[in-house]
Structure 1
């Protein structure tokens, strides 16, 4: 079995500098000698004491497993704040999903665009910073802060009146249980399955996927078949949504009438 890479010294230095602490001030906060802390940070100590590793990881509010096995410098500030807030799998027992990001020279997250030709490699490269760095990227002003955004192309007519071939701007969903019923989402499925753009409802059996085009039937996918979920924010298209036909208008008015009738007292 291939040895697991350990990021102890890299993460210690990164987190210390992120909090603008000197080795001396951190050692004092940990009630540890500066010599011992420096030895851990530089890798001079081949096998640091388990108690010291736990002490350091607790101080930075990062689970020990994550502190050792994840290169935290590659996660980005938003993800680090989420880990510190207690969303870590090892702290909460939940299946955390950490999305890789890229940032611009101003340390702000980019919006990556996944073109059609890159969709096949997305599942394998979605956590690889090098893969993401090769994707087209841009920034959109006035996006609500605190989210990671990505843009995906769509195909097919299952979500009419949103035009076929629209590009969907969506924000990353870390905790799927937070989704409200029938939330519009891009769902990234494992294996050779297609990306889907559907209304998503979380059920005990998996994700119930619903198309706005009534010609398509609902279906459910197992949680294990889902790689990522991105909540719809906006769509971009050269085409305008189709105008309502006379038949659509008639159906709409009938539904309004049905609502009025069923809402009357005694009905």
Structure 2
């Protein structure tokens, strides 16, 4: 059996997934996926890329390293575990930044590994952003003020978990949350801890297998103008949020005493 087949079987087992589940996520039949695991057929390049992104393991490692000898965390830290995203340029040589529209943000989790999906996205160029692969994601909710609905966060693709910096903000693409914008806190053996700037929300851990992509904040684009008194209103909202947080903490302490 080839290293690729063994790695596919191993990674699927580590995530406790069925062949049918993986095949459905890759948009292929279970029988076709089973042939790849049984080494009865070799996946074409476009499927190999999807498999690499699905398991968050580089093609180099999938083809050359017996991953069963490493923990998931060690795999993420291996020097060759990097996925290179193509950088598109316009006719002037400026990097093209794909824009994930608000209405299609939920579909990104399924389409991020599909070249046709990415090529179908609208793009912009920001000449002041250089040296990396950038993509624009919609902000949603109230967890990361002052960004609100209608704002786009432009992120730079992060190749390795070791590149994450404490208290820097990132767009995380995860299995459970889809697109989320949070502040990185610290790294553990089986996950990373993040938090929102809105203190009403508790910090939480993202398991390593759930992480599909990470993009470091590069800049933001507002598409909705702030009102003259909006920041004053926001101060009131923050004050109310702090009160709610204090009340919750008091209740938790009272519960502990009981």
Q: TM-score, normalised by structure 1?
A: 0.55
1:215-234 superposed matches below 5 A: 215-234=200-219
Deviation, structure 1 residue 246: 8.6
Does residue 169 (structure 1) correspond to residue 135 (structure 2)? The answer is no
Deviation, structure 1 residue 139: 0.5
Structure 2 Cα separation of the partners of residues 246 and 128 of structure 1: 43
Structure 1 Cα separation of the partners of residues 117 and 237 of structure 2: 47
Native 8 Å contact 1:158 1:216 kept in 2: yes
Native 8 Å contact 2:83 2:159 kept in 1: yes
Aligned counterpart, 1:57: none
Structure 1 Cα separation of the partners of residues 82 and 168 of structure 2: 20
Structure 2 Cα separation of the partners of residues 202 and 152 of structure 1: 23
Aligned counterpart, 2:82: 96
Greater RCO between the two (CA within 8 Å, min separation 6)?
2
Structure 2 Cα separation of the partners of residues 193 and 123 of structure 1: 9
Q: TM-score, normalised by structure 2?
A: 0.57
Native 8 Å contact 2:169 2:217 kept in 1: yes
Does residue 151 (structure 1) correspond to residue 145 (structure 2)? The answer is no
**Structure 2 regions of 5+ residues with no counterpart?**
1-34, 36-40, 47-58, 64-74, 240-258
Task: Say which one has the larger Rg.
Answer: 1
Deviation, structure 1 residue 220: 0.4
Native 8 Å contact 1:182 1:210 kept in 2: no
Structure 1 Cα separation of the partners of residues 154 and 173 of structure 2: 14
Deviations 1:29-79 (CA, angstroms, capped at 9, x unpaired): xxxxxxxxxxxxxxxxxxxxxxxxxxxxxxxxxxxx75xx8xxxxxxxxxx
Does residue 194 (structure 1) correspond to residue 233 (structure 2)? The answer is no
SS at match of 1:188: strand
1:99-138 superposed matches below 5 A: 99-138=85-124
Does residue 5 (structure 1) correspond to residue 49 (structure 2)? The answer is no
Structure 2 Cα separation of the partners of residues 232 and 129 of structure 1: 23
Structure 2 Cα separation of the partners of residues 120 and 217 of structure 1: 23
Deviation, structure 1 residue 113: 0.1
Give the alignment partner of residue 212 of structure 1, picking from 187, 197, 205: 197
Native 8 Å contact 2:95 2:127 kept in 1: no
Native 8 Å contact 1:126 1:132 kept in 2: yes
Structure 2 Cα separation of the partners of residues 225 and 103 of structure 1: 31
Aligned counterpart, 2:187: 203
Structure 2 Cα separation of the partners of residues 134 and 6 of structure 1: 20
Structure 2 Cα separation of the partners of residues 162 and 5 of structure 1: 41
SS at match of 1:231: strand
Native 8 Å contact 1:100 1:126 kept in 2: no
Structure 1 Cα separation of the partners of residues 238 and 108 of structure 2: 38
**Structure 1 regions of 5+ residues with no counterpart?**
8-64, 70-88, 250-267
